[in-house]
């Protein structure tokens, strides 16, 4: 039994307040985050499963690797990077999906299974509990995704190297343009960009999770579908849909260099952190996220079992 669990078992509200006075806010937050990870194993199992599946598929295709052959307008170096990019995107997409469904159930499930009565007896206040839940999609999942992507790409690189050695092919082209470390700094930067840019989305999902009595996913999607449709029918404009599209694109056009010749092309090898931090939409989104999370705290404090 851990040091966190020992003084809390069976603690009622008065005893919980006494224990809270002996524990620092950071320690309560730390153990609240650990509890979320313990109770939601999909946080790390889903990205690991996708990484293992990608490695297995890459291993099967290593006998005749298509990424070593030139085709069309793409050279051998670009083709070599495709499997690594696919692995990163697949793990990232799964992590985002896990984050969405986690937020939808984070505050709703504890009301549905009535476990909120037990958690309220513990010393962690509602603010700490909600911040710990918000930390999962904003900090924990990006960290897990980065680790899994890096390990997956390293294993793929080793398989690629062994396959070339078995075929008697020179390793110089592969090692000269290492697809794993070429964008090593851009990957964590991109994950931070996604976390900050998607913060209002996660805040909205947590608010819906704390409020909805049933099917929170429908309540979360209703404004995103209904408001653009209502605006289009009533005013003939599409400002809401454009705002949603810009938010869903992840802010990459502001965070990375975009060549003037093509606004659709993003150069992920050239981060632009200063331009990203100077984007008004970033700070507006963070302010909205803070308000939504505050609303989720207020609703959890007054929420009752369903």
Q: Provide the terminal-to-terminal Cα distance of the chain, rounded to the nearest Å.
A: 31
**Average pLDDT value for the chain:** 82
Predicted confidence band of residue 49 (pLDDT cuts 50, 70, 90): very high
pLDDT of 168 reads 66
| 291 vs 171: which has the higher pLDDT | 291
Query: Mutual orientation of helices 126-135 and 280-302 as an angle, nearest 10°?
Result: 130
Could you tell me if 51 and 57 are in contact, meaning their C-beta atoms sit under 8 angstroms apart? Answer: no
pLDDT tens string 251-272: 888 888 876 555 555 666 688 8
pLDDT of 267 reads 61
Q: Which helix (H) or strand (E) is 268 found in, with range? A: strand 267-271
Query: What is the distance between the alpha carbons of residues 149 and 51, in angstroms, rounded to a whole number?
Result: 7
pLDDT tens string 205-250: 999 999 998 899 999 999 989 988 998 888 888 888 898 888 988 7
pLDDT tens string 2-23: 444 434 444 445 545 444 555 6
């Amino acid at each position: 039994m851990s040091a966190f669990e020992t003084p809390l078992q069976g603690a009622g509200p008065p005893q919980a307040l006494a224990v809270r006075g002996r524990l620092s806010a950071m320690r309560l937050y730390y153990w609240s985050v650990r509890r979320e990870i313990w109770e939601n194993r999909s946080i790390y199992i889903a990205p690991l499963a996708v990484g293992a599946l990608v490695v297995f598929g890459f291993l099967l295709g290593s006998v005749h690797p298509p990424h070593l052959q030139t085709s069309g307008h793409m050279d051998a170096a670009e083709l070599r990077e495709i499997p690594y990019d696919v692995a990163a995107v697949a793990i990232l997409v799964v992590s985002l999906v896990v984050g969405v469904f986690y937020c939808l159930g984070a505050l709703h499930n504890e009301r549905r299974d009535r476990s909120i009565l037990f958690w309220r007896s513990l010393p962690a206040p509602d603010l700490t509990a909600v911040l710990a839940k918000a930390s999962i999609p904003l900090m924990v999942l990006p960290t897990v995704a980065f680790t899994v992507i890096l390990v997956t790409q390293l294993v793929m690189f080793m398989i690629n190297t062994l396959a070339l050695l078995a075929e008697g092919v020179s390793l110089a082209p592969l090692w000269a343009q290492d697809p794993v470390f070429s964008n090593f700094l851009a990957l964590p930067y991109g994950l931070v960009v996604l976390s900050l840019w998607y913060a209002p989305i996660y805040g909205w999902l947590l608010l819906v999770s704390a409020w909805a009595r049933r099917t929170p996913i429908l309540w979360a999607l209703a404004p995103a579908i209904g408001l653009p449709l209502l605006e289009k029918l009533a005013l003939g404009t599409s400002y809401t849909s454009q705002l949603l599209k810009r938010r869903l694109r992840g802010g990459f056009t502001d965070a990375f260099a975009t060549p003037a010749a093509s606004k659709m092309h993003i150069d992920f090898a050239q981060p632009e952190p200063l331009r990203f931090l100077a984007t008004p939409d970033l700070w507006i989104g963070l302010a909205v996220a803070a308000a939504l999370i505050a609303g989720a705290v207020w609703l959890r404090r007054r929420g009752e079992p369903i």
